[in-house]
Amino acid sequence: MAGQPPDYPCHHPSGYDDRRSRSERERDYYNERDQPPSSSRTAAGGQLNAKKLSSHISNAGSADALLTLFAAHASSLNHIHAANLWNKLGKQRVERRHEEQLERLLQRTLDLVSSDSLARDPSTWSVGNRVQLHQWQLWLSLERGADGQQHLLPASERQRCCDAMVATIARTSGLQRSVAAVLAAVWGPGFEEEHLEPRTGYSLDLAFPSSRIAIEVDGPFHFLLPDGRGVRKPNGPTLLKRRLLAAAGWRVISVPFYELGRLRDGQ
């Protein structure tokens, strides 16, 4: 189909049989096709302009193609390009061989956030934005160690972001109350409901603080829709919460709603 990278060995008019892999053909295709005229490039290095680069990112269909675009245009990347790259990469097959390029993209993204987003007036940040900033700051402090310290907000702003997180805690569900009742009958006292984890700002459905065991009662909104095999996988916010809690030293046990449904039905 016109405008799409070839999905089969390409036969050159001269008789040359192109044996590149699909990812290699796609990478070269997106690098070579529709090259903009000189007026649409910057003066330095032949970089694509912002609009053209966004178009190339939108049309790229593999991790190789996306990371090749980043490598070629890293210096002209803005925060929108970076966000789109991560969004697209999250839907691609990323392999161990991509780690070095991903680390470079990560460092470039951190620099962009520090120089652009965090340079804006903090009073303009919405509650939702503060929650996301808090999660990002947690990831920096818990997983990036010394490398992440330079990108941390001032302590006062980090606290405001954490407060926004705490303010969005959901109410206890009936499903959670039923699990708590069973746990109390089997285990007895010693656990807390809606335990506010001080380091992360997350609320834990049921927790044993002394042993740092958290029980999360995961309802339908914690999962993606069932796949072709009927399997429901945790969604992004659920995975991020588990990951950050684990990094903070908690053992997280998930109690999915569908498992409870099967128990009630006697399956």
pLDDT tens-digit series, residues 176-211:
898 999 899 988 888 999 999 999 999 999 999 999
pLDDT score recorded for residue 44: 43
Q: 127 is written with which tokens?
A: 């509650």
Question: What pLDDT is recorded for position 148?
Answer: 84
State the pLDDT at residue 10: 40
Give the pairing of strands 192-196 and 203-208. Answer: antiparallel
How far apart (Å, rounded) are the C-alpha atoms in residues 23 and 262? 43
| Per-residue pLDDT at 40 | 36
- Mention every residue, 6+ apart, whose C-beta is less than 8 A from residue 82: 105, 108, 109, 112
* Residue 227 CB partners (closer than 8 Å, separation 6+): 233
Q: Find the mean pLDDT for residues 145-161.
A: 87
Rounded to whole angstroms, how far apart are CA atoms 244 and 237?
11
Residue type, 257: F
Residue ranges of domains in the chain, CATH in brackets:
8-119 (no CATH), 125-167 (no CATH), 174-264 (3.40.960.10)
Q: What is the per-residue pLDDT across 103-122, written as a single tens digit (0 to 9) for each?
A: 999 999 988 887 876 777 77
In this predicted structure, what is the pLDDT of residue 221? 92
Are 33 and 6 within 8 A, CB to CB? no
| pLDDT confidence tier of residue 86, bands split at 50, 70 and 90 | very high
d(CA 56, CA 92): 16
Specify the DSSP class assigned to residue 143.
Answer: H
User: In DSSP terms, which residues pair with 234 in a beta bridge?
Assistant: 223
Under 8 Å between Cβ of 190 and 208 = yes
Please tell me which residue, 261 or 174, carries the higher pLDDT value: 174
Dihedral angle sign, alpha carbons of residues 250, 192, 129, 123: negative
- pLDDT tens column, 19-77: 445 555 555 544 444 443 333 344 345 678 889 999 999 999 899 999 999 999 999 99
Separation in Å, CA 242 to CA 48, 211, 215? 39, 17, 11
